[in-house]
Structure formats: structure tokens, C-alpha cells
Amino acid sequence: MRRRQRETAEAVALHRVGTAVPMGGARDVRPLAAAAARGQMLAPTDLLEIESLCRAAQQAARTLVRVAEDAPLLANLGSGFGDLGPLRVLIDDSIDERGEVRDTASADLAQIRRELGEAHLRLQQRLQSLIASAGIRNALQEPIVVMRDGRYVLPVKADFRGSVRGVVHDTSASGATIYIEPLAVVDLANAWRELQVHERHEVERVLRDISIAVGEASFDLIDAVDRLAEIDVSQAKGHLAGALGALDLHVPGPRVPWLVEAPAELRLVEARHPLLHGHVVPTSLHVGGETRALLITGPNTGGKTVAIKTAGLLCLMAMAGLPVPARVGSQIPVFDSIFADIGDEQSIEQSLSTFSGHITSIIGIIERAGPRSLVLLDEVGAGTDPTEGAALGIAIVDRLIEAGAALIATTHHSELKVYAHQTPGVRNASVEFDLKTLRPTYRLTIGLPGQSNALAIAANLGMPSDVIARARAGLSREERDLGALLGDLRAQLADAEEQVERAARDAAAAEAVRIDLERRRAELVADEARLRQEIRARIARDFRATERALDRARREVEAARIEQARVDVARARELVEAMPAAPEVEPEPLGPGISLDEIVPGSRIWLRGMDTPGEAIDVPDEDGEVEVQLGSLRTRARLAQITRAEPPPGHRVSLGRVTVAMPEDTGDTLDLRGQTTDEAMPRVESYLDQVSRTGRARVRLIHGKGTGTLRRAVRDRLDRHPLVTSFETALPAEGGEGVTIVYLQEL
């Protein structure tokens, strides 16, 4: 049953997207297929029916393949069609649309029909020549050829019958005309007739062969009819769902949550009888579970019977896979059986009164009803004495409750109303009646018994007022009090329902406000995310622009330094060239206690006319020249141009009897790679102190890239060091981020 409902749901889904499985040409050929399987030869028109069925099956299969994702169960039906393509092609190639066997059905048939046409042509030509001959033309009633008993004959005048030799086949009613087949064409006609017989035999052979093929495919043909029928029914159920407004209950998926195993509660929400049209008042009810029986009371024509019919019919529709005209929240158990005693069952033949008919039906229900049964009883206990009928009705309800069945019954007995109020598992229900308009509203109210309102209805129909007054006086005080009490309860219920409706409207308005606030919050969150993204993008753009500006500034600074170096080189060159040539004399010591042979690599050297010392790159050569580094300029100086020289730090020189150790110079590079911060910082301090005393203005600290921890520690120390004027990241050619260039103060 779940599968049937899922197939209906799939058909609804296809209907929503405008997809329909074509059913044109589908025919019920099961009797024909069975006959062919028994060896019967089928007529050409029968074969065309089978060809049409094959074509319809192929079209349905192709369509369902395309919608397999939306309708897997229907697609599975389509994928199960047998291979009917060869049979369809065989029939289509052999039978034309008029139901005649084609010439191409067999080679023999094509040959026979060619010869048949030629024989017929020869026969016609011979007959026309006889008509034109002088000896026969005058003997004919008319110069035409007619057919009698399948033979071509000439209409000969009775008086001239001896003029035409041949076979007489017929005479006219008046006897004035004799239809004679001339002997001159008998052989041609015989040949033509013989070919017709051959043609008929060949056609029968072709039809028999095709019928054999149909018989061999009979299983696939019968199965195709069944599958097309199931697909067609599913589509019809899908269309019915739209017509009944039952789409809410049909959600495609592997489960049908509203269809449950019995015993369970039958719950219908705003259910509508499928045969009612126009403005239909929906019915909501529930029975089963805690409420084993529901007793509906109220006036005649108020809708009690329609309510129980709606419940039973919708349960049967659900189990048949039909769409259920009810709303979300409905639940339908799959009952093993549904019993109903509705209507007048009196029978003259069986000598049954209305009461007897009801009792006979109810006896059968009591004998068979169980925990998985739904029982519908209309006017239980009616048709007999009210007191006995009420007692019998209570006993029937008790027995069905003990059997575990779910029961919905209608009644007019006040005793049953009290019974339902006092008995656990039994509830009252009623159909409403508008006392102002004296018309039923057809609304079903759970929890309250109904009033018959017989007196009010009788008065509305024109019953004399004195009769109504006497009837009211005849009511017991308890009945009058009960009527008043029920009226008060209904008024209170109406007020409560109005409050509930008002609360529902307020809740709906609050929900609308909440949804609006959620929407606005979502919009704000989206705006915030968008603004954050824009800010991140703007910061990234500004950062890239700053990096480009810094890089441009660095290049400009480097270019300025290079330009300054060029100026210094030019100035130094001018100074060197402007120096007078020194006399060729024996060189003397260049400073107190310092001899020429003590100029070693790293010695500080002052040249004549320059305040800034340079650095000896090597020892003086045999020509008395030494290579000197002057800032960024490297040149060679003669010994006569040197006015002062100091050995490098750590180099031991002799000052009279005293030996002095100069400060140690480790060069312009300090390699810290592989060291911790605690190990590197003392070395940096010592190195900067030493190189500052040697007069170096620019040094390199190699710390590597790594995680950047050592680089940050080194640069943090440089930022606070009193001897450091500035520092920067080395150019890529010098090591990039792994090297820091340090500029020192001049002492």
C-alpha cells in the first residue's frame, strides 16, 4: 500500500513539472496474445492492435527513463518492459495501415503479386479487344466488362447468345441479358484466378508466421498491458490528487509517514468526501488509540452519515493508493477489514424490518471484527423501542470495544450520549446546528454530544405552534435541563473556539514578525559578511600598495646611494689624480712605531688629502702599491700617498718595548644561523661593539628565514642599540629576508 501511494506521489510530481507518460496507442491485447499462444492465426487488424501496443510500451519506457530521478518506481515499471521492438518492426514491415499484407512481407508474395498484375492486365486487354470486334459488339447490351462470381463476363443480349461462345455465369432478372465469359479468355481468367489462390495462401502463411511470433511474445505482451495499465492508473491518481486538492499528503520519497500499521489512531484533518462538490465543509475526527469509539449525535440532515462515510471511504482510498482529500496531520492505519452498517436494510423477500436488517448486519460484524478493524454503524440501536434500543446500542459498543475494533457510530439516543460521557475510551461528537437560521452547519465537534433539535426543525417546517408547545411540555424536566446545558456548553465552546482562533491569528502575526526579524537578521549578517569581505579586500589592496611604495622607496634609496658612491668615486679619482708625484726616495715609517712591512689586510689607511680612512685589501706589492677599499670604491694607492696606517684589531704590533693587541675584526658579516636567541644576542652585542671600533659603517647579520623568531629578536635588539643608526632587509641578491643590513654610527 505504501508502494501504491508512492507511485501516486511520483505521478503527482510528474504532473507538477508538466511531464506525462504517453498512453496513445495502448490496447488491451491480452486475449489476442493468448489466442496466438494457442496457435490461432490472427487477422491483420488484430496484428495492428498488437503493433500499436508495442509502440506505446516503447514510448512509455523512453519517457520514464528520462524521469527516473523524480519517479523511480514508475521508471522501474518502464524498465521492465520486454523487448517488443523486433515484433513491432515485423508487423509494421508486413501489414500496412489499412490492414493489408504488404508486397514486401515475403519474396514469394511480391513475385506472385507481380505475376497477378500481369495476368490481370492480359485478361483485361483481351476482353477489351473482344468488345471492340465487329462480331461481338452488336451482341452486347453495353460495351462493358462486368464481374459475376469472381469471373469477368460480357453482358450479351438474349437474342444474340449464339453469337458469343462461352460459359454462362448469370442472367438478368428480366432474362434480357445473359452474362457470358467468352471461351477466348477462359484460360487467361483461370491463370488469373490460380494466381489469386496462390496469393491468398501466401498471405495466410505470412499471417501465420507473424501470429507464431506474437504467441512467442505473449508473456511480454500481457506483461506490457499490465504495466501500462498500472502506469496509466498512477497518472490518473495523480490527476485526481490535483482535482481533490490532496497534494499536501503526497510527498515523493521512500516513506509514506501518514500511512501506519493498525491498530493505531485514525486521524483525519479537514477531510472532504470526494463526491461532494462546491463549498464543502471539511470534517476532522480521530478514533483509535485512547479513543476506541466515537459516538456522533445531532439532528437529521446534519452530516452524521456523511462523516462516517467519509472516514470509511478515505481509509479504503488510502489503501488502494488513491489520493486522500485531507490535510497534513492526517494519519490512516492500514486496517485488515472495514465493516459498515449504513442505510435501510429492510427486505420483503427475507421478511426483514429495518431493525432486523440492522441487527443481522451487526451480528456479522461482531463475529468478524478485531483489533485491526474499523467499524462504521449508522443509527445504532434505532428502529425499535427507544429504551431497549439504547440499551442494545450500549451493549454493541461495549462488545466491539472489547474486540479491539475502532468504532465510529451515529445515534439519537440520549442514553448513549451519557454513556459516552461516562465511559473511558468512548467520546461524544456532534454535528452543529445553527438555531438562528435553523440550518445545519455540517461542522463536526469532538467532545460534546449533539441535540436532535426536532422541535426547532418541525417549527421551521411549519408545524403549528400549539403542537410545538404541547410537545415541549411533554418533555421531562431532565431532558429540558439537558438541552439547556448542552446549549450553554456549545456557547462556551463557541467562545473558546473564538479565543483559540484569535490566539491563532495572534500567533500567526507573531510568527510573521519573527520571520521578518529573522529575514532582517539574515540580511544584516549577510551585509556584515559583505562589509568584512570588502574591508579585507581594501586592506589587502592598501597593503599591496604600501609594499609597492616601500619597494619603490627602497629602490630609490639604493639608487641614491649608488649615485652618491659614484660621486665619491669621481671625487676620489680627482683627488688621486691631483696629488703630486712623490720623489723617488726610500720610504720612511708611516707612523710612530709602525713600519711599512706591518701593513696587512684590514689595516686602516689614511691617504693624503682625505679625512676618511680606507681599508687595506692586501699587503703592498713589489712596486710599493697597496689595494685600498674607500667606502664603495676600491683603488690602488702608492706608498707615498699614505700618511697614516693602523693595523687591524687583534693584530699585535710593537710600540718600543710594549706589544699592543688591536681590537679583533671579524669582517663585515656575522653568521647566526643555527643558533638560539639566547646564544645569538651576546654575539650580536660583541660583534657590533668590535666592528664599531674598526670604523665599519655597514655590516651584514645572517639569521636565515626559518620561522622568523631569530630575525625578530635581532631586529628588536637593533632597534634599541645605541650604535645602530638604521637597518633594513637585504636585497634578494644579498639574501633577502634571511639577512639584515645594519648601518653604524661613526666613532
The predicted structure's pLDDT at residue 134: 73
Residue 664 has what DSSP assignment? P
* Average confidence (pLDDT) over 628-653: 71
Q: Which of 103-107, 144-148, 247-251, 261-265 has the lowest mean pLDDT?
A: 247-251
Lowest mean pLDDT among 43-52, 444-453, 529-538: 444-453
- Alpha-carbon dihedral sign for residues 237, 243, 249, 253: positive
- Over residues 38-54, the mean pLDDT reads 93
Answer yes or no: is pLDDT of 100 > 70.
yes
pLDDT tier at 641 (50, 70, 90 boundaries)? confident
Smallest Cα–Cα separation from 616: which of 596, 591, 588?
596
pLDDT of residue 48: 94
Q: Is the confidence at residue 675, as pLDDT, over 70?
A: yes
Q: What is the pLDDT of residues 324-355, one digit of tens each?
A: 888 888 899 999 999 998 875 544 444 456 67
279-293, 351-365, 505-519: least confidently modelled range: 351-365
**pLDDT for the residue 619:** 76
Residue 577 pLDDT > 80: no
Is pLDDT at 560 greater than 90 in this prediction?
no
Sorted by where each starts, the structural domains of the chain and their CATH numbers stand as 2-84+217-249 (no CATH), 105-213 (1.10.1420.10), 259-473 (3.40.50.300), 580-661 (2.30.30), 669-744 (3.30.1370.110)
Residue 480: the pLDDT is 52
| The pLDDT of residue 590 | 46
**How many other C-beta atoms are found inside a 10 Å radius of the C-beta of residue 365?**
22
The pTM score is 0.55
d(CA 281, CA 303): 10
pLDDT grade for 642, boundaries at 50, 70 and 90: confident
Spatial CB neighbours of 710, under 8 Å, sequence gap ≥ 6: 672, 675, 676, 677, 680, 703, 704
Q: Report d(CA 228, CA 320) in Å as an integer.
A: 18
**For 607-738, where are the alpha helices, taking DSSP H only?**
677-693, 709-720
pLDDT exceeds cutoff 80 at 476: no
- For the chain, give the mean pLDDT: 81
Beta-strand pair 283-287/406-410: unpaired
